[in-house]
Amino acid sequence: MNIKKLFQISFKLFIINVLSYRLQSNKKENILKTYTGVFGKITGVFMKHSKFISFILLSVIIFSLSSCSDSDNNSEGDKNQHLNGVNENSIVAEVADEKITASELKFVFSHIRNVLEQDANLVGADKGQIKEFWESDVEGEKREDVVKRECLEDLIEIKILVSKAKEENVQLDELDNAEIDELLRQYIETNGGEHLAEITLQNSFGMTLEDYRKINEEFVLSSKYKKEATKKIEIDMEDLKKYYNDNIDEVEMVTIKYILILTETYLDEEPMTEEEIAKKRELAEDVLSMAKNGEDFDTLSEEYNEDPESRLYGNELTFSRKNAREDLKEWAFSADVGDLTLLEVPAGFMLLKVSEKHGFEFALEGIKQFLQQQEFEKNLEQWKREDFTINQELMDSLDMLE
């Protein structure tokens, strides 16, 4: 497993404006995937990762912290390190006038630890197996050190964004605070009440409930600032057009309607004979003729479409050149809106009609969001180089598994 992925929360940016179109292709995972490939992989979706832990991911920690409550071997010094009025000796890093404490680092590490150990089937394993796992080599380093460093990098980004939010007076609103209050309430309830929850936090991380709320506030505020700051980034029209032209195979889209006449049978059924297949071909050609003579394609689909999923999800597919089979791509992107054709596919015969074509205007908003996100990431990397220090001695001394 790539450990870094545990810290990267997907920020999906659609190159097409999916809010305006009901793309059903991600649901067609049955018969039709033998034709165009994996319909669920809609071209134009860019997976851009933010490196800090999101509020949504953090909520999972509510139910995993109690499993860490048996960490009674923490030193008294660690137990007294609180985020507010923090002991200077517990500061792992300082960034943009914000401090990162050992308690915060352990707090984040604990969640990643639970995820990794569950993924490695180590729940309930003996201490020897767990120790071996964390001491194992990951790209030339001990796994514990890699995860610890990644956690610190995430916290550095969070603190930078919190600092920027304060500079620009971005604040949590009533809804944000209500969500954080609910998260705190759930944590208290999960851990048997306020007193026991406080003990769990103290024993596990040297934190109080007040500290717990503060770190959640910072996670939410950093995410909110990033979202708002990204939207404010100006992108020149020329840059938008250049991206479109440079990536046209991914961002130019076409929507077709289809009618599938099946020749493929289920595994427990006998394959069709040549005579049966010939009759199916004849039926497909007859339906095509009806469509060419002006009969409504959707009405014909309701009567003749043998793809069972079309009853649930409709008979439209939207795709790019990059996602289409060669024969479909060649026809769909050269045909005009309203054009019809019949293609033989592994599942049978497909009658196709070009329903819509989607060019630059369709892709514009998604491209803009993607380029804004890229620019924000560049800014963030610059901010990270400007002002932070790490207490490497303390960092190296921290045993995250104790």
pLDDT in tens, 238-266: 999 999 999 999 999 999 999 999 998 88
pLDDT band at 131 (very low <50, low <70, confident <90, very high): very high
How far is the CA of 123 from the CAs of 46, 62, 145, 221, 262, in angstroms? 34, 18, 21, 33, 47
Q: Are residues 139 and 212 in the same domain?
A: yes
pLDDT band at 18 (very low <50, low <70, confident <90, very high): very low
Q: Are residues 116 and 165 in the same domain?
A: yes
**Helix, coil or strand: residue 303:** helix
Separation between Cα atoms, residue 91 and residue 95, nearest integer Å: 11
Q: What local confidence, expressed as pLDDT, does residue 87 receive? A: 52
pLDDT digits (tens, 9 = 90+) for 196-225: 999 999 888 888 999 999 999 999 999 999
Q: Are residues 166 and 125 in the same domain?
A: yes
Q: Are residues 103 and 167 in the same domain?
A: yes
Residue 61 falls inside a structural domain = yes
Q: What local confidence, expressed as pLDDT, does residue 91 receive? A: 92
Separation between Cα atoms, residue 279 and residue 292, nearest integer Å: 20
Q: Are residues 166 and 134 in the same domain?
A: yes
Separation between Cα atoms, residue 59 and residue 216, nearest integer Å: 9
Q: Are residues 274 and 230 in the same domain?
A: no
Structure tokens at 121: 């089937």
Q: 137 has which bridge partners?
A: 142
Residue 244 falls inside a structural domain = no
Q: Are residues 42 and 65 in the same domain?
A: no
Residue 1 falls inside a structural domain = no
The count of structural domains within the chain is 2
Residue 81 falls inside a structural domain = yes
* H or E element, residue 95: strand 91-95
Amino acid at 103: S
pLDDT (average), residues 86-110: 84
Q: Are 15 and 367 in contact (CB under 8 A)?
A: yes
Residue 19 falls inside a structural domain = no
Chain mean pLDDT for the chain: 79
Q: Are residues 95 and 205 in the same domain?
A: yes
Q: Are 16 and 225 in contact (CB under 8 A)?
A: no
Q: 254 has which bridge partners?
A: 319, 357
Return the CATH number at 312: 3.10.50.40
pLDDT digits (tens, 9 = 90+) for 270-310: 889 999 999 999 999 999 999 999 999 999 999 999 998 88
Residue 16 falls inside a structural domain = no
0.75 cut: is pTM over it? no
Q: What local confidence, expressed as pLDDT, does residue 274 receive? A: 92
Domain with 308, as residue range(s), is: 24-46+253-358
Residue 314 falls inside a structural domain = yes
Q: Are residues 203 and 295 in the same domain?
A: no
Separation between Cα atoms, residue 22 and residue 75, nearest integer Å: 56
Separation between Cα atoms, residue 79 and residue 378, nearest integer Å: 38
Q: Are residues 226 and 105 in the same domain?
A: yes
Q: Are residues 100 and 182 in the same domain?
A: yes
Q: Are residues 175 and 41 in the same domain?
A: no
Separation between Cα atoms, residue 305 and residue 32, nearest integer Å: 12
Residue 363 falls inside a structural domain = no
The DSSP string of 328-362 is HHHHHTTSPTT-EEEEEETTEEEEEEEEEEE-HHH
Of 50-54, 62-66, 362-366, the least confident = 50-54
Residue 319 has pLDDT above 60, yes or no: yes
